[in-house]
Structure 1
Amino acid sequence: MSTPPDLLHGPILPTLVRLAIPNVFAMAAATAVGIGETVYVGLLGKTALAAMALVFPLVMLMQMFSAGAMGGGVSSAIARALGAGQPARAQALALHAVCIGLAAGLGFTLLLWASGAAIFHALGGRGDVLAVAVEYGLWVFAATPAIWLFNTLISVARGTGNMRIPSGGILAVAIVQVILGAVLGLGLAGVPRLGMPGVALGQVIAYYGAAAVLWWYVRRGPSRIRLKLRGIPLQWALFKDILRVGALACLSPILTIGTVLVVTSLVAAHGNDALAGYAVGSRLEFLLVPIAFAVGVAAVPMVGMAMGAGQVARARQVAWAAAGLSAALLGSVGLLFMAAPDLWAAMFSSDPAVLEQARSYLRWAGPGFGFFGLGLTLYFAAQGAGNVVAPVTASVLRFAFVLGAGHALAAAGAGLWSLFGLVGAAMVLYGGVTALGVHLTSWGPRAAPVAANAGLSRTS
C-alpha cells in the first residue's frame, strides 16, 4: 500500500477540492435527510417537531463524536503513519480504532437509554412533548453502536485519502434512512403509521445495514487498509495515538452540544411555538455542519500525511486553504437565509407563530455562520496535525459565553430575539478564537516522522 503522491506533493487547493467534492455530495444527501425528516416530522404536528428539537442534539452528538472527533483522531493517526512510510502501523491502528468504536457505541447506547428522559426533562420537555421525545429516543438510540462502527470504518478509509467509499456509504445511508423514515413514520404504501418511532427505525435499519457492508469491505474488499482481527496485538501505544487526538477532540462537540442545550432550554421557557420555531431555524445550522465537515475531513489526510513526512509548512497551508473555503461557503448560505428567511422556514411549517420565530433566528444567527465554518474546519485541520488545543479552547469560551450571557438575558427578561443574536455572536467568537489559536500554535513538535513501527512488537 502506497501513499497517494499528490496528497504530499500536489497543488494544495485543487487536491483539497478533489478530495472534498465526494464529501460535498455525500453531505448534501445527509442534508436532504435532515430536511426530509423535518418536513415529514412537521406533518406529524408541532408536538413532534418540539420533541425532535429535544432529541436531535443528542443524535448529532453521536455523529460528531464518532465521525468528527474520534473519527478525526482515527484518520489523523493513520494518515501520519502513512506519511511516515509505516503501512504496518496504519493497519494495526485500524484494528485499534474498531475496538474503540464498538466499545463507545455500546456504552453510549446504554447511557442514553438510562438518562434520556432526565435530559429531555431538564431541557424543558413536559407533557406530550416529553412523552414523544422519550419514545423517539428509545428507538433512535438503538442505532448508536452501528453509527459508531460505520463512522469508524469510514474514518479508516479517509485516513488513506480515500473519500469515495466513505461518501458512497453516507449517500446510501441517507437514501435508505429518508425513504424508510417517511414510509414507517407516516404510514405510506399501506404500512402502519408508526409516528416518531417509525422515523427512528429508518435510521436504525439504514446504519446497521451500512455498517455490515463496510465491515465486509475492510475485511474482504479492495480496501487500501485490510482490517485483520488476528496477528496484531492490542497495545496501549496505538490506542494512545488515536485517543490523544480523538478523546481531547470529543470535548469540542460536547461543548457545542452543551451550547445548543443551553439555548434550547432558554428558548423552551418561551413556549412550544418558540421551541418549534427554533427547531426549524437551528436545523439549518446543524445542516451546515456537513459542509464544513466535507472540507475539513478532506484536509485531515493531507495535513496528517504532511506532518508524518515532516512537511509542517505544507500542513499549515492546507489548513488555511480549507478554512477559507469553508468560511466562504457557510458565510454565503448564512447571508442568503438572513436576507430571505422564508426560503428555509416556509418549507417546514405554515404556522404563523412558528414561522415568526424561525425568521427571527435566521436573521440574528445567520451572519455568524461563516465564522462557524472557519472554526469547525480548522478544528479538523488541527486534528490532522495532532494538536487540537486551540479549537477545543475556542469551544470552551463559546460555551462559557452562551451560558453566562444567556442566563443574564433570561434574568433580565430580554426578548427571544436576543437569545438568537447571542447564538450568532457566539459563532463569531468561536471562529475568531480558533483562527487566532491555530495561528499562534506551533505544530513543529509533531513534525518529526514517527519512528518506524513505533508501538508495534509485531504485525502481520
Structure 2
Amino acid sequence: MTFDLTTAPIPVLIRRLAIPAGTGFFFNTMFNVVDTWYGAKLSTTALAAMSLCFPVFFIVLSIGAGVSTGATALIGNALGRGDHEEARQYILQALSFALVNAILLVIAGHAAGPHIFQFMGAEGEYLALAVSYMGVIFSGAPFFMFNFVMSAILNSHGNTATYRNFLITGFFLNMALDPWFMYGGLGLPPLGLPGVALATVVIQCLGNFYLFRYLANSGIIGSFRLHELLPRRHHYLELGRQGFPSALNMMTVSLGIFIITWFVGRYGKDAVAAYGIGTRIEQVALLPVMGLNVSTLALTAQNFGAGHMRRIRETLGISLRYGFTLASFGTCIALLFTPQLMSFFSSDPAVISAGVRFLKIEAFVLPAYVLLYICVSAMQGIQRPVFALWIGLYRQILAPAAVFYLLTSVFNWGIIGVWWGIFAVTWSAALIVVLYVTIILNKLEKDIFVV
C-alpha cells in the first residue's frame, strides 16, 4: 500500500511509514541477535570473530544503504514533482547501479578481507573463523545490494510494509537455518560459523525473488527492456552524488567501529566480545528511531520535490518528539536490566562485567542518536548528502581517535575511557547537527519566500 506523501497529514504519514519500517528493523536486528546467540554457542572465539567481522560486514551494509538512500531521495524528488517517467528511469538505473557496486565489492572483499583482519590483530583460529565467515558474506553481496535498492523503491512510494514482511519472514527462516547449517543434518555437513553467514545469504537471495515479484506485479517497475538497465551517465552521476556521501558516511561508522575495536582490543577478547554484545542490545533499543529515519527520508524527499518546506519542518519536529519518547524507554530498560541482557548472550563473567559497564554509560547516549539519525535523514531528503559525510568523519574518526587516546592513555582511565569517549563524541556531534539543520532550514525557507 502506498500513500500520497505531499498532501496527507504528517503525523498520520509518519506512523504509517515508521511503524512498519521500525517493525522490520526490529526483526532484522533480531536476525542479527539470533546469529550472535548461535555464534556464542560455538565458542567465545567464534563470538569474538563475529564481533571482529562486524565493521567489515558494515562495509557491505554501508554501500547498500548509500545506494538505497540516494535512490530514495532521487525517486522521491521526481515523484514529488510529478515526473513519473524520471522516477521510472531512476528505478531502473538504481537496479543496475546496485549490481555494478556489488561486483566491485565481491572482488575487493575477497582480496582485502584477510589483510584487514590481520591488521586488527587476529591470528590462528580467531583469524580463520573471521575470514571464513566474511568470505561467505562477500560472495552474497549482490543479493544484499538488490534488496537495499528494492526497499528504497518501495520507501520512495510510501510503502514500508512489503520490506517489513520480508524481514519478518527472514527472521523466522534464520532461526531454522542457523542451527541446521551450523551443526549439519539432513545430508548437510556441519559448517560451523560459516554456516551462520550462509544462512544469511540464502535468505537475502529469497528476498530478491519476493521483492522483485512484488514490484513487477504492483506496476511500480512495469515493463522494460534490458537496454534500459545499461548505465546512463546522468543517472549514474546523480545516484553517485546522492548515494556515495551517504555510503561513505556509513563507512565512517565502519571505520569508527575499527577504531573502537582497536582500542577495546587492547583489553582482551572478553572486552571485544562484550562490545559486540552491547552494540547488538543498543541496536534493539534504537529500532523505533530507525523506522523514523525511513519515514523522515521518504517524506522530506517528496515534499522537497514538491516545494513544501513547512511540511519538511513539521516532519522533522514530530519525528524528533516521537524519537525522544521512544529512546527514553530504551534508556530505562538498558539501565534496569543490564546484567540480564548481557547474561542472555554470554555466561562468561568477564564478558558480562565489561558489557554491563558499557551499557550503563551507553544508555544515556540514545537520545543523541535520535538527533543524529533523524536530522541527517532530513538533510539527505533535501539533497544535502555531503553534510552526513562530514559529521560522520568527525563523529567516527577524528574525534574518537583523539578522545579515546586522551582518556585511555593520557588520563589512564582504561576501558572505561573508551565508553565515556563514545558518550562525549556522540553528544558533541548531535549538537553540531542540530545547529547545522536549523541554519539550512531557515535559509531554504527564506529563499522560497524571496522567490
Bin for the TM-score computed over the shorter chain: over 0.9
Task: Give the Cα–Cα distance (whole angstroms) in 1 for the partners of residues 332 and 422 of structure 2.
Answer: 15
8 Å contact kept, 1:327–1:372: no
Query: Aligned equivalents of 1:31 and 1:207: distance in 2?
Result: 14
Query: Which protein is richer in helix relative to its size?
Result: 2
Deviation, structure 1 residue 93: 0.5
CA distance, structure 1, for counterparts of residue 157 and residue 274 of structure 2: 42
Shift of 1:176: 2.2
Asked whether 1:120 is paired with 2:117, we answer: yes
Give the equivalent residue in structure 2 for 1:241. 238
| Match in the other structure for 1:455 | none
1:446 Cα deviation after fit: 12
Aligned to 2:420: 421
Aligned-partner Cα distance in 1 for 2:98–2:31:
24
Hey, what does 1:65 align to over in structure 2?
Answer: 63
CA distance in 1, matches of 2:446, 2:123: 50
What residue in structure 1 maps to residue 147 of structure 2? 150
Identify which range, 171-180 or 203-212, moves more after superposition. 171-180
How far 1:186 moved relative to its partner? 3.5
TM-superposed CA distance for 1:282, in Å, is: 2.0
SS across alignment from 1:210: helix
2:53 counterpart of 1:40: no
The answer to whether structure 1 residue 403 and structure 2 residue 404 are counterparts is no
Which sits farther off after the overlay, 186-195 or 327-336? Answer: 186-195
- Runs of 5+ in structure 2 lacking a partner? none
Give 1:197 shift. Answer: 0.8
Could you say which residue in structure 2 is the equivalent of 1:338? 335
The CA deviation at 1:351 is: 0.9
Q: Any stretches of 5+ residues in structure 1 without a counterpart?
A: 449-460
1:173 maps to which residue? 170
The 2-side partners of 1:274 and 1:3 are apart by 45
**AA at the equivalent of 2:117:** F
Confirm or deny: 8 A CA contact 1:320 1:378 kept in the other structure.
Answer: no
C-alpha distance in structure 1 between counterparts of 2:284 and 2:219, whole Å: 30
**1:221 match: secondary structure:** helix
Partners of 1:309 and 1:268 in 2: CA distance: 49
Paired residues of 2:150 and 2:212 also in contact (CA < 8 A): yes
**Contact 1:281/1:358 (CA < 8 Å) preserved in 2?**
yes
Change in CA separation of 1:298 and 1:310 when aligned onto 2, cut-off 3 Å:
same
The CA deviation string for residues 197-248 of structure 1, in whole angstroms up to 9 with x for no partner, is 1101101111112112323333x31143436244747532222332222111
Q: TM-score, normalised by structure 1?
A: 0.90
The one of 60, 71, 76 aligned to 1:74: 71
Q: 1:84: how far off? A: 0.3
TM-score by length of 2: 0.92
Task: Give the conservation status (yes or no) of the 8 Å contact 2:316–2:378.
Answer: yes
* Letter aligned with residue 263 of structure 1: I
Structure 1 distance, partners of 2:158, 2:252, is 29
Q: Deviations over 1:161-205 (max 9, x none)?
A: 111222222223333233212221134678533210110110111
Alignment partner of 1:293 is 2:281:
no
Is the CA contact (8 Å cut-off) linking 1:34 and 1:287 kept in structure 2? no
2:78, 2:86 within 8 Å by CA — same for their partners in 1?
A: yes
Q: Compared with structure 1, are the counterparts of its residues 330 and 34 closer, same or farther at alpha carbon in structure 2 (3 Å cutoff)?
A: farther
Partner of 2:99: 102
Deviations 1:110-140 (A, max 9, x none): 1111111111122222332112111111112
1:260-409 → structure 2 map (5 Å cutoff) = 260-288=257-285, 290-399=287-396, 400-409=398-407
Identity rate of aligned residues, in percent?
Answer: 23
Q: Is the 8 A contact 1:105 1:145 kept in 2?
A: yes
Moved more, 337-346 or 11-20: 337-346
Deviation at 1:260, TM superposition (A): 1.2
Tell me whether 227-236 or 266-275 shows the greater mean CA deviation.
227-236
Query: 1:88 corresponds to which residue?
Result: 85
Output the CA distance in 1 between the equivalents of 2:357 and 2:406.
20
Residues 1:221 and 2:223 aligned together? no
Q: How many residues align?
A: 444
Superposition CA RMSD, Å: 2.3
Counterpart in 2 of 1:453?
none
- Say which is worse superposed, 228-237 or 413-422, in terms of deviation: 228-237
Q: 1:221 to 1:281 in 2, by over 3 A?
A: same
Match of 2:435 in 1: 436
Say if 1:30 and 1:176 are closer, same or farther in 2 by CA, change over 3 A: same
Conserved? CA contact 2:31–2:170, under 8 Å: no
Q: Distance in 2 between matches of 1:390 and 1:440?
A: 13
Q: CA deviation at 1:334?
A: 2.9
Q: Which residue of 2 aligns with 1:192?
A: 189
Give CA-to-partner distance per residue, 1:91-126, whole Å, 9 cap, x none. 000011011111111111211111111111222223
